[in-house]
A = this chain, B = another copy of it.
């Protein structure tokens, strides 16, 4: 049985296996430093669809289908799909998974959604509620710009603190039992999940998500380290989802000041990995649900599956604002969820 430990962490008993993972991205992602790690890159950000929103749904669906293919599974074999996105009423997900025929648990965690989906999927699988399920999320730069700011046609100027929403999606397939067919030397298991509470320190600048989200990241990371009883040095890396350059600095300061945690040496941010900030016009870095989702599935998990890394904490943060809340003068509540992953040598082959 899973166990709730400490402040807000669920320690899993059976530690489900990640049996498939995939990421797809758009044009700008194809110019970034981890471009080669993606399963597919589209050269047309509309993906041949009639709107950017439909393109986002296609991204999510494609990421799921790629991940299932790599897991050698069909949609029919999945008990659940857990997903969400940034668009109003989560249409990126609803239309993305509509044709898959998999029971659908819709989530909203803004850019924390990959960790929320993977964490919940892991708890469900650990508990026997699912035998196999898939967690996914997506975002699209052009769809997000007109959802939260202005349509691209408006030509709005973005300040230096702004981040670029990733045109990307990622999907992770979980199984209660290890696969008998598997093609990497190591297999990743989910050990624990820390679900965070909302933290809002009063930031109102919708062009500075990093600052709004850093306090939630600090709160959840500190809780995860304490609840798991592990110092930062126990991890090969502690990833945040999309704090960007501004948020990363604030996170490191907050962790030091408020929690006496020094994360400098092991911290990495998915938002600083997806693009080359010198060569690409992305200001403070990448953001969006698809940022953590694609970096996790294209970059982090493969490094664990090859044996390079064995112990990772991924804490993805979400800014829970809308244009309505901002226009009504509200500050930006944020939340962060974290999953603790370990890699172990694969030893379950059917012929083994």
> Interface digits, A51-85 against B, CB 8 Å rule (1 contact, 0 not)?
10110000000000000000000000001100010
Query: A107 and B104: CB pair below 8 A?
Result: no
Does residue A225 face the partner (Cβ distance < 8 Å to B)?
no
**What are the residues of chain B within 8 A of A51 when measuring CB–CB?**
328
Query: A50 and B324: CB pair below 8 A?
Result: no
Query: A90 and B102: CB pair below 8 A?
Result: no
Query: A195 and B94: CB pair below 8 A?
Result: no
**What are the residues of chain B within 8 A of A106 when measuring CB–CB?**
84, 107-109, 116, 318, 320, 335
Does residue A350 face the partner (Cβ distance < 8 Å to B)?
no
- Do A105 and B195 form a contact, CB below 8 Å, given A54-B328, A110-B89? yes
Q: Report the minimal beta-carbon distance from A207 to chain B, rounded to whole angstroms.
A: 16
| Total contacting residues, chain A, CB less than 8 A | 63
Query: A130 and B87: CB pair below 8 A?
Result: no
Does residue A312 face the partner (Cβ distance < 8 Å to B)?
no
Does residue A321 face the partner (Cβ distance < 8 Å to B)?
yes
**What are the residues of chain B within 8 A of A198 when measuring CB–CB?**
94, 97-98, 104
**What are the residues of chain B within 8 A of A197 when measuring CB–CB?**
101-104
> Once bound together, how far apart are the Cα atoms of A1 and B1, in whole Å?
7
> Once bound together, how far apart are the Cα atoms of A60 and B316, in whole Å?
25
- Do A321 and B98 form a contact, CB below 8 Å, given A84-B108, A129-B127? no
> Interface digits, A299-338 against B, CB 8 Å rule (1 contact, 0 not)?
0000000000000000000101111110010100101000
> Once bound together, how far apart are the Cα atoms of A197 and B106, in whole Å?
11
- Do A195 and B104 form a contact, CB below 8 Å, given A128-B4, A129-B123, A324-B88? yes
Does residue A131 face the partner (Cβ distance < 8 Å to B)?
yes
A127 interface neighbour in B2, B84, B93, Cβ under 8 Å = B2
Does residue A196 face the partner (Cβ distance < 8 Å to B)?
yes
Q: Report the minimal beta-carbon distance from A297 to chain B, rounded to whole angstroms.
A: 21
Does residue A95 face the partner (Cβ distance < 8 Å to B)?
yes
> Interface digits, A208-220 against B, CB 8 Å rule (1 contact, 0 not)?
0000000000000
Does residue A10 face the partner (Cβ distance < 8 Å to B)?
yes
> Once bound together, how far apart are the Cα atoms of A308 and B62, in whole Å?
50
- Do A88 and B323 form a contact, CB below 8 Å, given A80-B195, A97-B198, A196-B104? yes
Does residue A120 face the partner (Cβ distance < 8 Å to B)?
yes
Q: Report the minimal beta-carbon distance from A230 to chain B, rounded to whole angstroms.
A: 19
11 new A-B contacts, CB < 8 A, other than A4-B79, A4-B128, A87-B322, are A1-B127, A2-B127, A2-B128, A3-B128, A4-B129, A4-B130, A50-B328, A95-B330, A106-B108, A107-B108, A123-B124
